[in-house]
Structure formats: C-alpha cells, structure tokens
Amino acid sequence: MALPAGKEGGTLELLVRGADGVTRLLAPDVGYLTCARAEGELLGPGQEAGVLLRLGRPFRLVVPAGVRGRVAGARPRPVHAPVAYGDVVVELAPLGAGDEAAAGAVAAAPSADGGRLFVLSSQSGRFYHRPAPERPPFVEPGAVIEDGVPIGLIEVMKTFAHVPYRAPAGSGLPRRARVVALLVDDGGEVCEGQPLLEVEPAPAPGSTAIR
C-alpha cells in the first residue's frame, strides 16, 4: 500500500515480551497508534499490526520474525491512541489447532476484487459523509462524480480536510464515475488504503448507458 506523497514514513518492527503464554508486542517509539488490528485476527511475521503516527508521518508496525498468534483484546477506542516507548500495542494469544494453516492462507491470499473499482483513503483518520451534521452528504449511491469532486471529509487530530475523488493515470478509476456504494459508516475510523467508495464508470453526459 503506497504512502501519500510527502508523508512517507517507513516500517518499524515491534518489540516482543512474553508472559503467561501471551505474547505482547510493544511500541518501538512514541507517537499515536491507529489502524490497530481487531480482536480475533491472526498475525504472523512481517504482517502489519498497526500504524504509528510520529511527527505527522505514518510508520507501519510489523510483527517480528518467529512471532505468531491471535489478537486478544479489543483495539484502542481512540482513533489515534497515544503510546509511549514500550507500551503494549497488541497482545497475541497462542494459535490453536488449525490456526497455523489459516494464518498461512491469510498471509498468502491474493487480492482479487473481480473487476470492482474502489476509491481508497489516502490517510488514516475518521471519515465523514457530510460537511456538517445537519447538511446532506457529499455523495450518495447513484451519484455521478468527476475528478476533483469532494466525496467526504477526513479528520486527523481534530483537523478536517476535504477528500476529493481522484482518478490518476494508471489507477484504473474512470475520470467520470457513478457511486455504487458507501463502504464506511459516517464518522467511521479508516486506515490508509482502505476502500471508501465502490464506483463504476459513468456514461458521458448526453449518452445512454447500456446495462
């Protein structure tokens, strides 16, 4: 998943501490934790357990070699939870029977969307459908959007910014698209690279679509 231009961070390997059969993965630096993995998910070496925002830059937190397990406990409630060096980012319970095979399948699963088109979030935060609670949403299913049209707001650390529809060359997205579905709840937490909308090509003005 590519980082937004000008916001490159990097990858940090989590620290490890084990006790009572539970593996605790610890923050390797200070910052704000976001995109933590959900309870029950399987994690293995090299997989991302969350994102650490440090000085405004995202750093992927990856599981060290030789560490596997199932996420125990709920993810932090704040979208951006402050963490200090050595704080617990995630706890992993031991894998049970059949989990090893499942973990390998998840790590090796290819991305197959069957030709569906998605608009992805360029950063982590909270995504809002409306400019204000009493205002109508920026877009709804069936709406036709073009390059540069706002599709929502994203809030990062109490700062709000418009999210425009973009269809850069090579993205596969059409310059003119019809919204098929909204994929995130209003005010829902999103991670960088997460689908926000599903879209499809829209006919040019004045033409008749053949469906």
pTM above 0.85, yes or no: no
Two domains, one topology: 10-108 and 117-201: yes
Q: Is the pLDDT of residue 210 over 50?
A: no
Report domain extents, the chain. 10-108, 117-201
* 47 or 84, higher pLDDT: 84
Task: Write the CB contacts of 89 (distance below 8 Å, at least 6 apart in sequence).
Answer: 14, 25, 26, 27, 33, 36, 49, 50, 61, 83
Quickly state the pLDDT bin for 74 (edges 50, 70, 90): confident
Average confidence (pLDDT) over 104-133: 71
Torsion sign across C-alpha atoms 17, 19, 23, 29: negative
pLDDT of residue 141 exceeding 80: yes
Task: Mention the CATH class of domain 117-201.
Answer: mainly beta
- 89-93, 109-113, 139-143: segment of lowest average pLDDT: 109-113
At 111 the pLDDT is: 38
Architecture of the domain delimited by 10-108: Beta Barrel (2.40)
Looking at per-residue confidence, does 157 or 12 come out higher? Answer: 12
Yes or no: say if 123 and 192 are a contact pair by the CB < 8 Å rule: yes
In this structure, which amino acid lies at residue 140?
E
Over the chain, what is the mean pLDDT? 81
